[in-house]
Amino acid sequence: MNTRRLNSNQLKGIALTAMTIDHVASILYPNYPTDWWIIGLHVIGRLAAPIFWFFVAEGYFYTHDRKKYAGRLFLFAIVSHFAYNFAFGIPFIPFQTSVFNQTSVIWSLAWGLVGLAIHEDRMIGQWQKTILIVLITVITFCADWSSIAVLAIIEIGSNRGNFKKQMARMMMWVFLYAAVYAAFIHPVYGALQLFAALTIPLLKMYNRERGAWKGMKWLFYLYYPSHLLVCGLIRIALYGNVGVMIGG
């Protein structure tokens, strides 16, 4: 029986839905409550990031123009910075409140693509690759999912064709993120990050097909900042212009 029955459109749709549930829960129930059903909403939200990491890595191999792809992601990261920070009440100018959560995960996705390109470039020496990737992790440390998103994209892309290794290496970095989150932000929400593993069975079902609809890429570019704008309006209506999570 062929169990690979989810195309990229379907997986991205799952990621968008999970992300929306997670973000709305953060707005409606701010400051890290530990009620079981609120934690459950955030568990669903853990499905989103690994799917995005996976498809940034896949996009690296499928795109016709990697420079244009990177350019779109960086432009998208700039737009998303303002939308994300508005959504959660985080100052637009970074590092006024914290070193954590100062911009959206799109910043890390864009740099993850660059990191994968560096890793795969045979013209760059190994020690140079190491230095450049370490610099990228420093640059992305302040973003949502921090530099872990960069390292996960590199692991997924560089181990393409070996699904078990892709997921094992991805979860190694997620475990590190969970540990740092637990130590410096919130222990329960740190442990919560490990539920990213729930994405693994879904990604295993990926059939390497896009799906009939060709507009999912542009839907994501439009939907991500738009839903954050709505989240920000809800936040202001409920609480005024105050932050609702770390960084705000």
Rounded (5°) CA angle 46-215-206: 45
Rounded (5°) CA angle 225-230-234: 145
Rounded (5°) CA angle 18-22-26: 170
User: Span 99-113, mean pLDDT?
Assistant: 97
The CA-atom distances, in angstroms, between 92 and each of 67, 86, 101, 155, 215 are 27, 8, 11, 31, 30
User: Span 141-156, mean pLDDT?
Assistant: 97
Residue 161 main-chain phi, psi, to 5 deg: 100, -10
Q: Please state the length of the chain.
A: 248
Cα distance between residue 168 and residue 159, in whole Å:
10
User: 215 pLDDT exceeds 60?
Assistant: yes
The CA-atom distances, in angstroms, between 223 and each of 169, 217, 241, 244 are 30, 10, 23, 21
1: confidence class by pLDDT, cuts 50, 70, 90: very low
What is the pLDDT at residue 3?
Answer: 58
Q: Which amino acid makes up residue 205?
A: M
> Tens digit of pLDDT for each residue in 78-94?
999 999 999 999 999 99
User: Cβ distance 157 to 120 under 8 Å?
Assistant: yes
Report the C-alpha dihedral over residues 146, 151, 157, 163, rounded to 10 degrees.
-100
> Tens digit of pLDDT for each residue in 24-34?
999 999 999 99
What is the pLDDT at residue 2?
Answer: 55
User: 114 pLDDT exceeds 60?
Assistant: yes
Rounded (5°) CA angle 161-166-167: 135
* Residue whose pair of structure tokens reads 């539920």 in the numeric block: 195
245: confidence class by pLDDT, cuts 50, 70, 90: very high
> Tens digit of pLDDT for each residue in 181-197?
999 999 999 999 999 99
Comparing 133-137, 152-156, 217-221, which segment has the lowest mean pLDDT? 217-221
Please list the alpha-helical segments (H only) found in 63-125.
66-88, 105-120
Cα distance between residue 246 and residue 187, in whole Å:
13
Q: Which amino acid makes up residue 64?
A: H
The pTM of the full predicted model, rounded to 2 decimals, is 0.95
User: Span 33-38, mean pLDDT?
Assistant: 97
